[in-house]
Structure 1
């Protein structure tokens, strides 16, 4: 091959830090050369690939180097967790990286980029230390229930290859005076001993505003204990707090978190991606995914997942019991009225002409008459007539232009 020496040099430089996609392309080039009888050149690329693999196996990963800089002991599967002295109930659950779903949570590009910076900081721990900077060690994640906050925190821990000490803070609350504050102290002492991500779920259960007139003096002592322990932990590991009710948090709690990440409800593109993610092994047409995304405006990822489950059931039961998409949406809206925006829900049970017109004219959905016909089981001419129905009724019962 002419200019092979240049190609060889490019491949050698690229394989110094290869991505999976880049490695695949070099492998394809090697295989193509071999198929064409260029065995010597194919062997040369094979040598470059093998050398890159050996270097990868010998060199510690960025995450491994970052873990090495963390103080603390390794948390094992047999490590006993602290318990409530009065009830003997465990104060935390240990979750190891291998037990966490490897799929990245689905968010809009802005949130996804913000999340990636958290992971990048920790995987570049050493580079930051050179300029006397450390990654953010405290993060508060808040938003509506079902938006993926806990899943996000667990996914970050998996990316960092660190075990999670998962604490549901409402479980630390005890009816015994002083026990709740003691539980918090014991929990933080335990977490500070190990390399881990400390995940404080349902954070508002304890971190409430201290001047709440509905609370007794005990809550003030509990919040003070929490603040003191957060201060001590600021330079130890990564701490993530999660809440559905940010307005309940004491202002002093907010100041303890370097990152304050709001997880919004998903937009149209993310809702469609969520529906597509949970759809396999069912193969749903694109216009079905788009309509599901449209009807779930204002819904959370958990609510979209519930609708997809309903859709999958409706498409896999006996042939005579199968429902069309619109019937499935009506069934779901009836059984889950609060999960569908009232305006969209009303359209489902309105005159089909109004529903089809909304589907056709909405700039986000932008359904063609063919799309509507496919979903409604009608031909395009019928849909066209229905879209023209407005104003008063004609003598034959059809709605005509006024």
Structure 2
């Protein structure tokens, strides 16, 4: 009768044995970038006590092929994973470039720039025994630029952007949904890439939600395991519009969390300048930005307004500024009277346009505006 081999707990092993077990575990998981980081650490650790081993490890790291070499597009590309039922692709490769960097809040710009710099200067981090951020969670309302930032990051890093199509991943046979997610994540791990999991809350809902069936709860566990094993040679980005729906364990798995706020007036103005392609004057754009900010609009709202206005301007052969102000005036005049008066006073004091134009835009009479101005200045 064969006897089962008793495996000692990792804590009972010597330090060198623990290093070997840790190295083997990462190698079996296919985490090549993490293997290189560990070897860098071991080379420095053994430099004093085992110089020959340290030099051998350093030589191996210098001569090893780089993990940055992409596998796709050289004749050995893995096929895009398909749903076994519908045969629809489970992931989309987004190849649309961005001509300029998206307008971002300062905190968002700093955090995303840090992520890019970590990957662009990966070798410096590896030499220090560190790895770049592997995963990041984008949180914010719709239309604030989460998807655009994912495109911008992929473009800066020179990596393909893979977008997970959650509508196709959620199979009609719930038992296959976990398999679909694994297919996509394994495909993204196969070579350096940026994977965007859009609408993460669709699959990573709270496991204490009594409305969800057991299979959907198990999907969260599958996702958490995959995030934990994500290689440092690629970048996993996830986006959600409904942070409160996410399972608490999901938050702890991400290296960084980037909160995308609604844009302020200055950011909306910058975005409108990009969208109009110099077809409108800055004074009118400042008014439009003020109107959009008063309604807590997103970048998507600003883009939609500008696109509609540009089409109308071309078809009606009128200046774009005129169409923009007309569209904004329609929205402002739907506000309650006191809000319109307050908005009219803001425009007059900001000196964006004459009192007459403010009256036309807001529907507030000049007498009302003049009376408010006299009371503010203490005149009779």
TM-score by length of 1: 0.68
**Native 8 Å contact 2:356 2:366 kept in 1:** no
Residue-by-residue CA offset, 1:122-169 (whole Å, 9 max, x unaligned): 111111112111110101111111111011011101100011221022
Where does structure 2 lack aligned partners over 5 or more consecutive residues? 1-64, 374-378
Residue-by-residue CA offset, 1:222-276 (whole Å, 9 max, x unaligned): 1111111112225451111111111111111111100100111111110000111
**Native 8 Å contact 2:132 2:232 kept in 1:** no
Alignment map for 1:2-401 (pairs within 5 Å)? 69-70=66-67, 73-76=70-73, 79-96=78-95, 99-280=96-277, 282=279, 284-297=280-293, 298-318=296-316, 325-331=324-330, 333=331, 345-346=334-335, 356-361=344-349, 366-367=350-351, 370-373=353-356, 387-389=369-371
Residue-by-residue CA offset, 1:85-122 (whole Å, 9 max, x unaligned): 111111101234xx322421101223212221111111
Cross-structure match for 2:25: none
**Native 8 Å contact 1:143 1:262 kept in 2:** yes
**Native 8 Å contact 1:141 1:242 kept in 2:** yes
Distance in 2 (CA, whole Å) between partners of 1:287 and 1:360 is 12
Distance in 2 (CA, whole Å) between partners of 1:325 and 1:350 is 23
Mean CA deviation greater in 79-88 or 148-157: 79-88
Cα separation, partners in 2 of 1:312 and 1:320, compared to 1, 3 Å: closer
**Native 8 Å contact 1:188 1:229 kept in 2:** yes
Residue-by-residue CA offset, 1:177-227 (whole Å, 9 max, x unaligned): 310011112222222212211211111110111111111111111111111
TM-score by length of 2: 0.71
Distance in 2 (CA, whole Å) between partners of 1:351 and 1:242 is 35
Distance in 2 (CA, whole Å) between partners of 1:127 and 1:321 is 52
Where does structure 1 lack aligned partners over 5 or more consecutive residues? 1-67, 334-339, 392-400
Cα separation, partners in 2 of 1:374 and 1:346, compared to 1, 3 Å: closer
Task: Indicate the structure whose relative CO is greater, using CA pairs within 8 Å and at least 6 residues apart.
Answer: 2
**Native 8 Å contact 2:309 2:323 kept in 1:** no
Residue-by-residue CA offset, 1:54-87 (whole Å, 9 max, x unaligned): xxxxxxxxxxxxxx74367522296420111111
Question: SS state of the match for residue 197, structure 2?
Answer: strand
Question: SS state of the match for residue 143, structure 2?
Answer: coil
Q: How many residues align?
A: 305
**Native 8 Å contact 2:103 2:267 kept in 1:** yes
**Native 8 Å contact 1:143 1:264 kept in 2:** yes
Cα separation, partners in 2 of 1:377 and 1:156, compared to 1, 3 Å: same
Distance in 2 (CA, whole Å) between partners of 1:299 and 1:216 is 36
**Native 8 Å contact 1:75 1:196 kept in 2:** no
Cross-structure match for 1:36: none
Cα separation, partners in 2 of 1:264 and 1:320, compared to 1, 3 Å: closer
Distance in 1 (CA, whole Å) between partners of 2:354 and 2:288 is 13
Distance in 2 (CA, whole Å) between partners of 1:255 and 1:119 is 21
Cα separation, partners in 2 of 1:312 and 1:371, compared to 1, 3 Å: farther
Distance in 2 (CA, whole Å) between partners of 1:390 and 1:230 is 58
